[in-house]
Amino acid sequence: MTAPFDFAPLLAPGTPAPAAKWNGHPKYNFIGGHVAPEHIPVQELIDAVTTALKREGTTLSMYGLNSGPLGYKPLRDFLVGKLKSHAGMNVTADNILITSGSLQGLDLVNNLLVGRGDTVLVEQETYGGTLTRLARFDAKIVGVALDEDGLRMDALKRTLDDLDKKGIKPKFIYTIPTVQNPTGSVMPEKRRAEFLKIARDAGVMIFEDECYSDLVWSLERPPSLYAMADGEGVIFIGSFSKSIAVALRVGYVVAKWDVMARILGLKQDAGSGALEQMMLAEYCSKHFASHVPKVAKELHGKLQTLRESLAEQFGTSAEFGDPPGGIFLWVKLPDNVDTVKLAQAANAAGISINPGPEWSTDKQFARSRLRLCFANPDHDTIRKGVAALAEVCRREFGVPLRSANIDKR
Ligand SMILES: Cc1ncc(COP(=O)(O)O)c(C=O)c1O
């Protein structure tokens, strides 16, 4: 037997902790931002990729196909139209970079702007993937309070003023204004205008993440911040993950050309996967407009099932809103519940949840909160999963006392 080679001393500083081996999906999966298997348009995707390959499969011979480093041109052309009609954005295909998921977009923008020790503003409750990424840069992450309309402008102004007094200018304000993760809020247009003015006056860039903006129940949303600013001082990322399929790993960055040229310099992977881009361009030009409303309607139904199940199983022990879109619900449990511990106990029972502290800069505020993703499980699994979670919570923390109208004392 060859003796093991000890590579641990070679690790670069700041390398993340080793990953655990994957042991399969939990029975009740309320994490990870997965979408629903029944929403994947399998046959249409097969048709789309076949058509695209027959027509231009030989272009796979070149990095970047016939489209150059920004990504497959027909997909960018589709996005030009979609972003205009959906989010009011006036952009050309040269303002759009196709990425391997919007996570790559997040990485590229962070790499472009965040140096070690820089200050970055985020919404107090925000996407956990952003928090872990910024932490790797040793960034000083400052959370700004939210309300039911998203980022609070009084809190933003106060934070910027406080930082200014200390001579600190943040690199950007990372925001998810349209279906906020995890709270689900949509920032109204008036507040967006105020937001842009405050950021502009402070000379701070806005980093706008629109991962979920297609999934608004009413199918109407305010213009993006990027649209309202005509792209000045705003970098935008979006994704096909939640509207079509997460595992395709296709997202995009939208930026003015001067910013884009710099981002492009950092994207040194010789292009994102071509088949996915070709398939999506073909599929979306025909079906996106009819697919998304169907998905939104069914997700809205799952949200109602989740809300009903929580009300039934947790009674007044669970507080939550009625978000206007998205795939998750942000839930408050009684103060004595530590959701990090709850998540561990739930995991052992085959239930995955996102504990609040991983989704917030204020660990104490988020201690008794959690995020539940409802897109992937079917209605019955949602009901059973919530009942199982209530059972674990009662065992570990003594709440909820009542469940399904049965007193458990
Ligand atoms: C707010 C937000 N941004 C970005 C992402 C990354 O998405 P993807 O890389 O699949 O496009 C997620 C994933 O859940 C998210 O919630």
- Summarised one tens digit per residue, pLDDT across range 128-140 is 999 999 998 889 9
Q: Which atom of ligand 1 is nearest to the CA of 101?
A: 9
Query: What burial class does residue 381 get, using C-beta atoms within 10 Å of its C-beta: 0-12 exposed, 13-18 middle, 19+ buried?
Result: middle
* Distance from the alpha carbon of residue 130 to the mean position of ligand 1, in angstroms: 9
Whether 16 has a pLDDT exceeding 90, the answer reads no
* Distance from the alpha carbon of residue 211 to the mean position of ligand 1, in angstroms: 6
Q: pLDDT grade, residue 32 (50/70/90)? A: confident
Under a CB-based contact definition with an 8 Å cutoff, are residues 347 and 28 in contact?
Answer: no
Mean pLDDT of all residues in 92-114: 98
Average pLDDT over the chain reads 96
Whether 404 has a pLDDT exceeding 60, the answer reads no
* Distance from the alpha carbon of residue 255 to the mean position of ligand 1, in angstroms: 18
Mean pLDDT of all residues in 257-281: 97
* Distance from the alpha carbon of residue 241 to the mean position of ligand 1, in angstroms: 7
Q: Which atom of ligand 1 is nearest to the CA of 251?
A: 11
Pocket of ligand 1 (CB under 6 A): 33, 101-103, 127, 129, 176, 181, 209, 211, 239, 241, 246, 251
Q: Which atom of ligand 1 is nearest to the CA of 127?
A: 1
Q: pLDDT grade, residue 33 (50/70/90)? A: confident
Angstrom distance (rounded) from CA 237 to CA 193: 19
Mean pLDDT of all residues in 243-270: 97
Whether 1 has a pLDDT exceeding 90, the answer reads no
Atom 14 in ligand 1: residue holding the nearest Cα: 33
pLDDT on residue 305: 98
pLDDT on residue 74: 98
Whether 407 has a pLDDT exceeding 80, the answer reads no
Q: pLDDT grade, residue 408 (50/70/90)? A: low
Atom 12 in ligand 1: residue holding the nearest Cα: 211
Q: Which atom of ligand 1 is nearest to the CA of 246?
A: 10
pLDDT on residue 406: 59
pLDDT on residue 14: 81
Which pairs with CB-CB distance under 8 Å and at least 24 residues apart come from 389-396? Answer: 389/28, 389/30, 389/313, 389/346, 389/351, 389/353, 390/313, 390/314, 391/349, 392/342, 392/345, 392/346, 392/349, 392/351, 393/314, 393/317, 393/333, 393/337, 393/342, 395/345, 396/341, 396/342, 396/345
| Residue of 146, 175, 241, 277 best suited for mutating to test ligand 1, as the one with most atoms within 8 Å of CB | 241
Peptide bond into 324 cis (omega under 30): no
pLDDT in tens, 288-328: 999 999 999 999 999 999 999 999 999 999 999 999 999 99
Atom 3 in ligand 1: residue holding the nearest Cα: 211
User: Which among 61, 65, 93, 71 is positioned nearest to 80, based on CA atoms?
Assistant: 93
pLDDT on residue 405: 55
Atom 2 in ligand 1: residue holding the nearest Cα: 211
* Percent of the chain with pLDDT strictly greater than 70: 98
* Distance from the alpha carbon of residue 225 to the mean position of ligand 1, in angstroms: 18
| Residue of 104, 127, 179, 252 best suited for mutating to test ligand 1, as the one with most atoms within 8 Å of CB | 127
The size of the chain, in residues, is 409
Angstrom distance (rounded) from CA 124 to CA 143: 4
Q: 3-class secondary structure for the chain?
A: CCCCCCCHHHCCCCCCCCCCCCCCCCCEECCCCCCCHHHCCHHHHHHHHHHHHHHHHHHHHCCCCCCCCCCCHHHHHHHHHHHHHHHCCCCCHHHEEEECHHHHHHHHHHHHHCCCCCEEEEECECCHHHHHHHHHCCCEEEEECEECCEECHHHHHHHHHHHHHCCCCCCEEEECCECCCCCCCECCHHHHHHHHHHHHHHCCEEEEECCCCCCECCCCCCCCHHHHCCCCCEEEEEECCCCCCHHHCCEEEECCHHHHHHHHHHCCCCCCCHHHHHHHHHHHHHHHHHHHHHHHHHHHHHHHHHHHHHHHHHHHHCEECCCCECCEEEEECCCCCCHHHHHHHHHHCCEECEEHHHHECCHHHHCCEEEEECCCCCHHHHHHHHHHHHHHHHHHHCCCCEECCEECC
Given the DSSP bridges, would you call strands 150-151 and 146-147 parallel, antiparallel or unpaired? antiparallel
pLDDT on residue 332: 98
pLDDT in tens, 351-377: 999 999 999 999 999 999 999 999 999
pLDDT on residue 224: 98
Whether 401 has a pLDDT exceeding 80, the answer reads yes
Peptide bond into 182 cis (omega under 30): yes
CA end-to-end span of the chain: 59
Q: Which atom of ligand 1 is nearest to the CA of 126?
A: 1
Atom 7 in ligand 1: residue holding the nearest Cα: 102
Whether 13 has a pLDDT exceeding 90, the answer reads no
